[in-house]
Amino acid sequence: MLTQEQIQEIENLCFSEGVYFYDVRMEMVDHISQAIEDILKQQAKMSFEEALKTASQEVGVYGFKYIVEEKEKEIRQAVRQRQFKLFRTFFTWPKIAGCLLLFVLVIIPYYYFELSAKTYVNISRLTMCIILLFWLFLRMPFKKAAKKLLTVKVINEGVLSAQWLLGVFGLGSLFTNNTEEGWTNAGWFAVLVSVITASIILLSLAEIMVHRAIYKSSRRNYPTVFTKY
């Protein structure tokens, strides 16, 4: 069993090698600690310093940074998979009833007020702005951790909904610049815009729900690195 001082020495080594994220560093400390204990069991006369050197050499010169990079890719992929998995559940019963209601609420203004395609697209784009502001408001409780956490970094940068919103703005410009074309004033065009708008709303909801769940999990796993509300 390693002492607290030895564990701290391992953590200091990981930090010096570029493992600045606390959650990843703790995983590395556990991995290296286990490797050192295994080495010392096989070679009882070996000192801790020698065992640490041997264990760190197994990671390699670029191994520490490579592990961080791979871990970030793994987390990003896992987050997106959770988002799309949750997004797909919105189209299962009974949640699909709410989705249909959302679609109806989005498309009603087009037919009720007999809007032109250009006006309807602009209203949809305004809706996207409101969604983005609401999305940012829901993220406000995400307090900054006292130490860097890779999971928090990923959810803070993983603004998938914002990327979709920018794409919709680009499509909106394309559509509104071609309103003289008859197809943009067709009924199916309003349906298309409504489907896109409703999908973005649901995707934004799925993203914020997943991000909040990951954030709460990080607070539970590393309570000492977060400031109090």
Question: Of 77, 37, 158, 108, which Cα lies nearest the Cα of 29?
Answer: 37
**What predicted TM-score, i.e. pTM, was given to this entire model?**
0.77
Measured between alpha carbons, how far is 130 from 9 in angstroms, rounded to an integer? 49
pLDDT in tens, 42-58: 998 899 999 999 998 88
Question: Of 33, 74, 72, 71, which Cα lies nearest the Cα of 55?
Answer: 33
Question: Of 93, 106, 118, which Cα lies nearest the Cα of 200?
Answer: 106
Report how far apart, in Å, the C-alpha atoms of 114 and of each of 100, 108, 111, 118 are. 21, 10, 5, 12
Measured between alpha carbons, how far is 200 from 216 in angstroms, rounded to an integer? 24
Domain boundaries, the chain: 4-61, 70-225
pLDDT in the model for residue 190: 74
Q: pLDDT under 70 in the chain at which residues?
A: 61-62, 117-118, 120, 135-136, 138-144, 158-187, 227-229
Neighbours of 14 (CB within 10 A): 25
CB 31 within 8 A of CB 71: no
pLDDT in tens, 147-176: 889 998 888 775 555 555 555 555 555 455
Instruction: Tally the residues of the chain.
Output: 229
Q: Is the peptide bond before 94 cis (omega within 30 degrees of 0)?
A: yes
